[in-house]
């Protein structure tokens, strides 16, 4: 099988989620470091415009969003599993909470408390990504005050999960929910140890974070962004599996546009070649790379036909 190529950068917490998945499954992979802010000219030919981090590339198949990346890694490398069926509903619910409720206050608290350590232009870029004006230093300080209590309330909730003596977040075995909660808390100290004292008092959280850290990142070796583009140009996408549509879904073969429904909503256009409960795939003809298949999760993404466009 073609090698796994991850496009990421060091302080990206969603990338840490995938790095640990690669470690958990004991995988060998290639590491392409991408810029943390737009534009990303050596990533765009692969994704067709999706700018968020990380992105997984396997030949000319490009996987966007960690929720799909984890499922794809599970599909290709089923053991050890991150999706034990008995815990899947609770793990999904915890994951949704961690990534949609827990992480945002942490992000605002951490970024506002580490202003002098932020890469040049990062805050302005993140504001554009969310359709907001760039924040002043005063606005960021106010965000720290508003969000520090929201973080502390939720840290107590995480500690309380372990009150019954469980080893992992959703029960007796590790699941994708551990990665979702972990990457949010990992962000506390991704750049500096300034906020470590917030986590220090929570004994169970600290022990569990130690277990998570020990998983490691598997076996990465560096790859340049241009080599990754060459690999995509030399490959053809894998044949799509059999789709499972609902009657209301966009027809296969339609030229369509997909974008995230929350932030970083840059659109990707292409021909719809696959969809099922978990996944949507668009085929793009890229001027530089030729044919690429861009894969997205179904939930959290908005797919619409482009009226008047004809499939090639
Ligand atoms: N739902 C997405 C969220 C990814 C995300 O927000 N990633 C952050 C970095 S940790 C990002 O894209 N920031 C902007 C960027 O890297 O350009 C996922 O699970 O992959």
Probe target for ligand 1 pocket from 6, 9, 12, with the most ligand atoms within 8 Å of CB: 12
- Supply the DSSP string of 81-99, one letter for each residue: -S--GGGHHHHHHHHHHII
Q: Tell whether ligand 1 has an atom less than 6 A from the beta carbon of residue 23.
A: no
Q: Are 116 and 137 in contact (CB under 8 A)?
A: no
pLDDT at 93 over 90: yes
Structural domain containing residue 239: 4-80+221-305
pLDDT for position 115: 86
Number of neighbours of residue 194 by Cβ within 10 angstroms? 13
Task: Say how many Å lie between the CA of residue 70 and the centre of ligand 1.
Answer: 14
Q: Are 64 and 49 in contact (CB under 8 A)?
A: no
Q: Tell whether ligand 1 has an atom less than 6 A from the beta carbon of residue 111.
A: no
Percentage of residues in the chain having pLDDT higher than 70: 99
Same domain membership, residue 169 and residue 58: no
pLDDT for position 192: 87
Q: Whose CA is nearest to atom 7 of ligand 1?
A: 53
Q: Are 64 and 18 in contact (CB under 8 A)?
A: no
Nearest to 13 by CA among 30, 31, 32, 36: 36
Q: What is the mean pLDDT of residues 235-260?
A: 98
Task: Say how many Å lie between the CA of residue 309 and the centre of ligand 1.
Answer: 30
Same domain membership, residue 53 and residue 113: no
pLDDT for position 117: 87
Tokens linked to 203: 């004994």
Probe target for ligand 1 pocket from 53, 55, 110, with the most ligand atoms within 8 Å of CB: 53
Query: Tens digit of pLDDT for each residue in 109-119?
Result: 999 998 888 88
Same domain membership, residue 244 and residue 155: no
pLDDT for position 293: 99
pLDDT at 212 over 80: yes
What SS3 class is residue 154?
A: helix
| Nearest-angstrom CA–CA distance, 263 and 130 | 5
- Strand extents, DSSP E, the chain: 4-8, 28-33, 55-58, 61-64, 219-222, 255-260, 268-275, 279-286, 290-297, 301-305
Query: Residue 198 is inside which H or E element, if any?
Result: helix 196-199
pLDDT at 312 over 60: no
| Nearest-angstrom CA–CA distance, 219 and 159 | 31
Same domain membership, residue 140 and residue 63: no
Same domain membership, residue 210 and residue 146: yes
| Nearest-angstrom CA–CA distance, 102 and 181 | 8
Q: What is the mean pLDDT of residues 203-227?
A: 98
Chain mean pLDDT for the chain? 96
Q: Tell whether ligand 1 has an atom less than 6 A from the beta carbon of residue 21.
A: no
Q: What is the mean pLDDT of residues 226-253?
A: 98
pLDDT at 34 over 70: yes
Query: Residue 185 is inside which H or E element, if any?
Result: helix 176-186
pLDDT at 58 over 80: yes
pLDDT band at 266 (very low <50, low <70, confident <90, very high): very high
- Residue 17, domain CATH: 3.40.30.110
Q: Are 169 and 141 in contact (CB under 8 A)?
A: no
Nearest to 258 by CA among 75, 62, 89, 7: 62
Same domain membership, residue 228 and residue 147: no
Comparing 23-27, 137-141, 158-162, 305-309, the range with the smallest average pLDDT is 305-309
pLDDT for position 76: 98
Residue 49: Cβ-neighbour burial (10 angstroms; 0-12, 13-18, 19+): middle
Q: Are 14 and 56 in contact (CB under 8 A)?
A: no
Comparing 42-51, 135-144, 173-182, 285-294, the range with the smallest average pLDDT is 135-144
Probe target for ligand 1 pocket from 8, 52, 188, with the most ligand atoms within 8 Å of CB: 52
Q: What is the mean pLDDT of residues 60-70?
A: 98
pLDDT at 1 over 70: no
Cis peptide before 36 (omega within 30 of 0): no
pLDDT band at 257 (very low <50, low <70, confident <90, very high): very high
Atom of ligand 1 nearest to the CA of 9: 16
Q: Tell whether ligand 1 has an atom less than 6 A from the beta carbon of residue 14.
A: yes
Same domain membership, residue 226 and residue 135: no
Q: Can you give the C-alpha Rg of the chain in angstroms?
A: 20
Sheet with strand 28-33: strands edge to edge: 219-222, 28-33, 4-8, 55-58, 61-64, 290-297, 279-286, 268-275, 255-260, 301-305
Residue 312 maps to a domain: no
Q: What is the mean pLDDT of residues 73-80?
A: 98
Look at residues 214, 243, 278 and tell me which one is the last residue of a structural domain. 214
Tokens linked to 3: 């090698």
For the chain, percent helix, then strand, then coil, each to nearest 5? 45, 20, 35
pLDDT for position 224: 98
What SS3 class is residue 280?
A: strand
Q: Tell whether ligand 1 has an atom less than 6 A from the beta carbon of residue 67.
A: yes
Look at residues 156, 183, 214 and tell me which one is the last residue of a structural domain. 214
pLDDT at 180 over 80: yes
Same domain membership, residue 116 and residue 76: no
Whole-structure pTM value: 0.97
pLDDT for position 311: 61
Q: Whose CA is nearest to atom 1 of ligand 1?
A: 65
pLDDT at 298 over 90: yes
Task: Say how many Å lie between the CA of residue 127 and the centre of ligand 1.
Answer: 13
Task: Say how many Å lie between the CA of residue 114 and the centre of ligand 1.
Answer: 19
pLDDT for position 302: 98
What SS3 class is residue 186?
A: helix
* Residue 57 dihedral angles phi and psi, to the nearest 5°: -115, 135
Residue 133 maps to a domain: yes
Residue 149 maps to a domain: yes
């Amino acid at each position: 099988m073609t090698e796994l190529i991850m496009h990421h950068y060091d302080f990206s917490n969603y990338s840490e989620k995938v790095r640990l998945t690669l470690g958990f499954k004991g995988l060998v992979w290639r590491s392409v470091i991408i810029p943390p802010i737009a534009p990303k000219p050596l990533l765009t030919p692969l994704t067709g415009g999706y700018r968020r981090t990380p992105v997984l590339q396997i030949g000319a198949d490009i996987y966007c969003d960690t929720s799909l990346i984890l499922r794809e890694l599970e599909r290709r490398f089923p053991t050890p599993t991150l999706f034990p069926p008995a815990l899947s509903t609770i793990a999904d619910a915890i994951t949704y909470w961690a990534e949609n409720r827990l992480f945002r206050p942490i992000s605002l608290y951490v970024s506002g408390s580490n202003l002098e350590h932020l890469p040049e232009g990062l805050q302005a870029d993140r504001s554009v990504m969310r359709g907001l004006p760039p924040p002043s230093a005063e606005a960021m300080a106010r965000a720290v005050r508003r969000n520090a209590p929201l973080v502390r309330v939720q840290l107590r909730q995480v500690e309380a999960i372990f009150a019954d003596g469980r080893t992992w977040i959703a029960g007796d075995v590790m699941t994708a929910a551990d990665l979702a909660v972990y990457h949010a808390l990992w962000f506390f100290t991704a750049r500096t140890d300034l906020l470590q004292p917030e986590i220090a008092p929570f004994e169970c959280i600290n022990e569990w974070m130690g277990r998570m850290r020990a998983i490691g990142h598997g076996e990465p070796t560096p790859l340049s962004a241009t080599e990754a583009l060459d690999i995509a140009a030399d490959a053809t996408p894998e044949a799509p599996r059999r789709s499972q549509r609902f009657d209301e879904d966009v027809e296969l073969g339609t030229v369509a546009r997909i974008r995230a429904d929350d932030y970083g909503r840059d659109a990707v256009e292409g021909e719809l070649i696959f969809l099922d409960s978990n996944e949507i795939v668009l085929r793009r003809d890229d001027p530089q790379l030729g044919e690429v298949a861009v894969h997205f999760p179904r939930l959290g993404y908005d797919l619409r036909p482009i009226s008047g466009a004809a499939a090639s």
